[in-house]
Structure 1
Amino acid sequence: MKKLIAISVLSALSFAAYAQTSSDVATVEISGDKNINLPSKIYRMDSDEFYKFRGSYFLSNGMTLSLFERGRAMFARIDNQDRHQIVASASNAFVAKDLQLKMRIDLADNGEVSGELTYVVPSQLNAENQVTKQKLVTAVFP
């Protein structure tokens, strides 16, 4: 229950922050739970149920999230980065087994898509030759 409340609060904050930013700033650093965790109980999603989620989704930060299957395994990929094997944590939510991303995808009857993707941005060397910390960011489905 606490996780559900935390997710709801973070969702509301990320949508509020997105609405207040200019269109060229599209990610929000999360200031709460700094972890991506596997669910205590995996939601059993078969291929027929996953079918409606397969495809590409444009994100608020200009990136593209792709969901696809290979055999019986489900995968997610952001742009041309490495793929991540995912498991369902709910009927519309997924978590990467490597704990690098999690997402919620809400599919409306009218074809509209909403939700959010939280993913790990690894440590990097910036323009000043300083190492930036690994961080979690959230992008929403516009």
Structure 2
Amino acid sequence: MKTIILSTLLGLSATCLAASAQTLPQDKTVEVPGHSLRIDVPDQPHYMLREDFLNFAGAYDLSNGDTLQLRRSGSIMYARIGNQPEHRIVATSRNAFVALDRQLKVRIDHHDDGSVGGELVMVVPARQLADGSAQGEHLATLGFPGR
């Protein structure tokens, strides 16, 4: 008796699943938004007063042990990572910047407790690997370690 009931239930379940599978559109694609690693220069940069930039000027420790430095010379803002060449940057929001050469973008979050958070997305140049193959240029994300 239990076998008959179980067989009937399994048969009904299979029928229901088949019916519901037929009603779902098969050509639908589900897009899952993710963190985009892109460096885009805005058509219209965010205007930032000299006084506002002073809150961001200085050196920041990065999660890879390197340092990000932001400075301003006249009306031009610059960013430098470690000993690499400087990049001219523009503000994209009240706390974010992007290099005009699309080599980096940075978001800096100043917290009430005095700590700094945020992230840096940068282009990592191509390099030669030990096996003779080349690893192409790619984007990497670095964080600001907490205090």
Q: TM-score normalised to the size of structure 1?
A: 0.75
Q: Which runs of 4+ in 1 moved over 6 A?
A: none
**SS of structure 2 residue aligned to 1:106:** strand
Q: How big is the shift at 1:38?
A: 0.7
- What is the Cα deviation at residue 108 of structure 1? 1.3
Deviation at 1:127, TM superposition (A): 2.0
With normalisation by structure 2, the TM-score equals 0.72
> Would you say how many aligned residue pairs link Structure 1 and Structure 2?
113
Indicate which of 131, 134, 139 corresponds to 2:142: 139
Query: Which residue is 1:50 aligned to?
Result: 53
2:126 to 123, 127, 136: 123
- In the alignment, the residues of structure 2 paired with residue 123 and residue 45 of structure 1 have an alpha-carbon distance, to the nearest angstrom, of 34
Q: In the alignment, residue 42 of structure 2 is paired with which amino acid? A: P
- 1:74-101 residue CA offsets vs partner (Å, 9 max, x unmatched): 0000000010000000000000000000
Pick from 107, 110, 114: which aligns with 1:107?
110
Alignment of 1:1-142 (within 5 A): 9-10=34-35, 33-142=36-145
For the aligned residue pairs, the C-alpha RMSD in angstroms reads 1.3
Question: Cα distance 1:45–1:73, how it changes in 2: closer, same or farther (>3 A)?
Answer: same
Structure 2: which 5+ runs fail to align?
1-32
| Cα distance in 2, alignment partners of residues 92 and 129 from structure 1 | 41
Higher-Rg member (1/2): 2
What residue ranges of structure 1 are gaps of 5+ in the alignment? Answer: 1-5, 11-32
Distance 1:113 1:44 in 2: 22
Identity %: 45
Higher relative contact order (CA 8 A, sep 6+): 1
